[in-house]
Each structure stands twice: as structure tokens, then as C-alpha cells.
A = this chain, B = another copy of it.
Amino acid sequence: MSRKPVVAVVGATGAVGVEMLKCLEKRNFPTSEVRLLASARSVGKKLKFHEQLLTVQELTEKAFDGVDIALFSAGGKISKEFAPKAAQRGVIVVDNSSVFRMDPEVPLVVPEINPEAIGQHHGIIANPNCSTIIGITPLWPIHKVNRITRLIVSTYQAASGAGAAAMRELEESTLAYLRGEAYQPTVLPHPYAFNLFSHNSKIDPANGYNEEEIKMVRETAKIYGDSRIRITATCVRVPVLRAHAESLLFECERPITPEQVRSLLQNAPGVKLVDRVEENYFPMPRDASGQDDILAGRIRQDLSDPSGHSISMFVCGDQLLKGAALNAVQIAERLISASGELLVKPIAAVARQ
């Protein structure tokens, strides 16, 4: 192939889809065509891309004809139905849903961590869960030199993880609260104005963990290629619009100091150190929103571990960018050469249901 790829964005009008298009534009992703696909409801909507106005087309199997790379972010149901069909037609799918993430045939990739996994794809590459990406990208430079054996996470997750409608619900319900008006939530299960609540994903009654938490546990082991890492997570939604924060406590194989962590993160790809102790200035959603990098700071020796193997750290990253759209586009970038041509052809188009 000697032309630039045809790229489809599936779920183009959603919170993540819109950011995918912006990332393609901002990063000058080489394309000969960008095709916006969505449900019938959004057909005809127009979105700007460089100098063009692109019209949203209906998502059908046939819409993938001629497409080289498809970025999916239209929910698990759509991915389950259309990603295998697209892959069978020779499209390389980068899928933002959770459907294929734990499939042993599907690479699960954070380009800063395991780019080599991309080469093993069979037509579908999975984009990890946002909380997983934001937590483990800044931990990778540490894990590489001093293996993390245990990780304890508490998240502070933004509305955007539940989509554009949840972001609107946060704003509208907050305005109603400030005006003293009643508000009935329709997107999220609990009042959101000046409130927080346990993540609204399904809970496994066997262990009490919700799906978001289990994703962090399982996806991290797969991306790190380390099945021994012991992880627990508490996932909480807070009234923030689009950046997730996470309080991380990790234990390493050998003793480790905050200075070593700072030094490892100083020039780490995709990470920005924000650890200004003297100013009490650390990672915040307001600063992380709209930023590609994950902010990391509050790096301290864990006072509860006298062995000196544990570190406490606070991170914050844009849920829509590095947590979703940007990571997907970064995966797609690994599929093309410097001159803008597709590098990795699908090894085999694997039929799925």
C-alpha cells in the first residue's frame, strides 16, 4: 500500500469519539480519508477536521469498505457486533470498549508500556480502561527497574468516564442545586451535585468489587506482562468533569526512595512531574484537563511501611485524552510508518461473534 490510511471513527459524536477526531487532527495523523460512523440518530451531523466538515455516516458493516484503521468508542455492544466484522474485512480495529481486553488473542496496549504487543494483533487491538491507563503509565518506569509487587489504589473519577451525558448531568444538577431546584438524575444512579459515590459499574457479589476495580486488577497484569502483581482498588466517582485522579500506594521488590521515583519520572514519556512541595502544588483535574501527559506528584515514603519498600503517589490525567482517545490514536500511530503508510498488516482475520 502506498497511500495514507483511511481511518474510521466509530462513535464519532460521543465524548471520546469527538476527542479521537481532535487527536487525529492535533497530531497530524496521516489520512487519505476520515470516515465518521455513528448510530442512525447521529447521521448527518457534521464535525470539523482540519479544513473539512465531515458528515457522520451510519455505522453498518459495509461502511468499513476501504477502511484501514477503525477507532471504536461506541460502547461494548457496538464493539462486540462490529469490531470482528470490521477485522474480517481487513480493518485494524483499535477498540476502546472492555469487550476484547482480556481476550488472549487481543493485545491490550499502552504505547509507553508495551508497544511491542501491537505486532501480535489479529485485527483487533484493545485500548485499556481509563483508570488503568492513568494509574499504571506513571508506575511503569518504576516497575521496570524495581518490580512493583503490590498496588493499592483509590480513585477520584470524573463524569466523562460515563460519557457526555453524565458530564451534562453533573453541570445541570449542580446548577439546579445552587438554585435550590429539584433534579432527578437520569444518567447516573445517584445525585451528583456536590456528592460522590462508589463507581456505578456492576458489582461481583462474590467479592464485592465492581467491574471498574476488577479491570484495574486484571488489565494491569496483562499490560505489565506480570501475573504476580497484587492489586486492590476502590473506584469512586467525584464531581469533576473530565480528569481522573488516583491515590496510589505501591510496594517494590527492593527498597525505594521518593528521590528515586522522582528521578525515574522526570523524563518518563507521557508523564509530567508536578511535585512542588514548597508551594503545596500537586496534580489537579483543572491542570490535567486538556493535557496529554499524566501528572504525577505527592511522592512520599509510605509511613506505614518501615521497610522502605513502599511509596505513596498522587496522579491525575485527562480521562478523555490519555485515558481514552489519545491512547487509541497513539496505538494507531504505531501502525503507520514515518511516511504515513500502514506498517503492520493483520496477521489473521479472526472470526468472533
Contacts and interface: CB of A to CB of B under 8 A. Distances in A.
Interface of A: 150-152, 154, 156, 170-171, 174-175, 178, 189-191, 194-198, 200, 202-203, 205, 207-210, 217, 230-232, 234, 236, 238-241, 245, 247, 249, 258, 277-278, 280, 282, 284-286, 298-306, 312, 314
Contact of A280 (B194, B203, B285): B203
30 contacts: A150-B305, A152-B304, A156-B236, A156-B238, A170-B194, A174-B174, A174-B178, A175-B175, A178-B178, A190-B284, A190-B286, A191-B286, A194-B239, A194-B241, A194-B286, A196-B285, A197-B282, A198-B298, A205-B278, A207-B303, A208-B298, A208-B301, A230-B306, A231-B304, A232-B249, A236-B245, A236-B314, A238-B240, A239-B240, A247-B247
Contacts of A191: 286
Contacts of A231: 303-304
B239 A239 contact: yes
A257 to B, nearest CB: 11
B284 A197 contact: yes
Contacts of A207: 300-301, 303
Nearest first, the 5 A-B pairs at minimum CB distance are A154-B154, A154-B247, A208-B300, A230-B304, A232-B304
**How many copies of this chain?**
2
A242 to B, nearest CB: 9
A230 B303 contact: yes
A280 B198 contact: yes
A125 to B, nearest CB: 27
Residue of A178, A189, A303 with most partner-chain B CB within 10 A = A303
Give the interface centre of A208, A241, A301 by most chain B CB atoms within 10 Å.
A208
A37 to B, nearest CB: 31
B171 A178 contact: yes
A322 B194 CA distance: 19
Central interface residue in A194, A210, A241, A314, by most chain B CB within 10 Å: A194
Contacts of A232: 249, 302-305, 312
